[in-house]
Amino acid sequence: MTSGTIIGIVTFVYLGAFSISIVGRILGKDSLDRPSFYAAVGGFVLHTAGILLRWRESYSLGIGHVPLSNFYESLVFFSWATVLMTLFGIREEARNRVLSFVTPAAALVLGYASFSPAIDSGIQPLIPALKSNWLAIHVITCFFGYASFAVASVFGIFLLRNGGSQGVHPWAEMFYRCVMIGFVFFTVGILTGSVWAQVAWGRYWGWDPKETWALITWFIYAAVLHEKLRSGGVTKRVVVFSLIGLLSVLFTYFGVNYLPGLHSYL
C-alpha cells in the first residue's frame, strides 16, 4: 500500500468521524461523541503513517527528503497539523465540538489533494533552494501557526454565535490560547524563513508575494492580540479581526500560489 492510498483512505475516515458526530447532534445522543472521537484518532494515526511512509518512499526512490516540499505534501501536512492541534491541544469538553468542524475540513483538503487532477502527488527531487535543513523548520512552524489560527477561528465562530465574551467563557480562553500559540509559531516561521532566504538567495527579505502576505497576516494577528489586551477580553471585534486573519491565512496559502514568486511551488 502506498502513502497516497493511505491518505485517500484517511479522507473517508475523517468523513466517517464527522458523520458520526452529526448523527449524534441530530439525535441528541452524546454517547456518539466517543465513537466519533475514536474515529478521528484512528484517522489521525493513519494520517501520520501516510506521512511517514511517504518520507520512506522518497528515500526508496533515491530522493530522500522530508515530505514538505510541494503543494500536495503541504496540504497533507496542514490538515494533519490542524487535526493534531484539535485532538491534543484543546480541552476535552470542547474537543468533539471543534472536531465536528475540523474533520470535514481535513477531509475536504485531503480529498482535494488526493483526487483532484490539478494536484501532482508525485515525489519529486528538491530544487536547489529547498535543499536545506531550514526547510523543515520553516514549513513546520508556519503550518502549525496556520493550524492554530484555524482552530482559533472555530472558537471564534462559537463565540460570535453566543454574542461574544469578555474573557470569562472557556471558549474565549481557548480562542486566545490558540491565537497566541499560532502567533508564536508563525513568528518563528517568518524568522526562520528569513534566515533560509539569506542562505539560499543572499537576502533576508525580497517582498515575494507570499512573504508580503505572510507579513500582512502577522500584522492582522498582532492587531488581534493588541485589541484583546486593550479591551481586556475577547470581544466581538477581536473575533472578527481573527476571522479576517484566517482569510488572510487562506490567501497566503492558496491564493498567492497563483501569483509568480519564489514560493509558487507551495
8-39 burial, b if ≥16 CB within 10 A, otherwise e?
bbbbebbbbbbebbeebbeeeeeebbeebbeb
What is the pLDDT confidence band of residue 99, given thresholds at 50, 70 and 90? very high
Query: What ranges do the domains of the chain cover?
Result: 1-117, 127-266
**Mean pLDDT (whole number) for 69-88:** 95
Q: How many CB atoms lie within 10 A of CB 152?
A: 29
**Mean pLDDT (whole number) for 235-256:** 92
pTM equals: 0.92
Distance CA 27, CA 134 (A): 49
Closest CA to 214 of 199, 192, 234: 192
Distance (Å) of CA 66 to CA 55, 58, 137: 6, 8, 11
Distance CA 89, CA 178 (A): 8
Contact 14, 106 (CB under 8 A): yes
Distance CA 265, CA 197 (A): 15
C-alpha cell at 182: 499560532
In sequence order, which residues have a C-beta less than 8 Å from that of residue 95 and are 6 or more positions away?
A: 37, 86, 87
User: Which letter does DSSP use for residue 131 in this model?
Assistant: -
Mean of per-residue pLDDT scores for the chain:
90
pLDDT digits (tens, 9 = 90+) for 191-234: 999 998 888 788 888 888 888 999 999 999 999 999 999 988 89
**Has residue 142 got a pLDDT over 70?**
yes
pLDDT digits (tens, 9 = 90+) for 148-159: 999 999 999 999
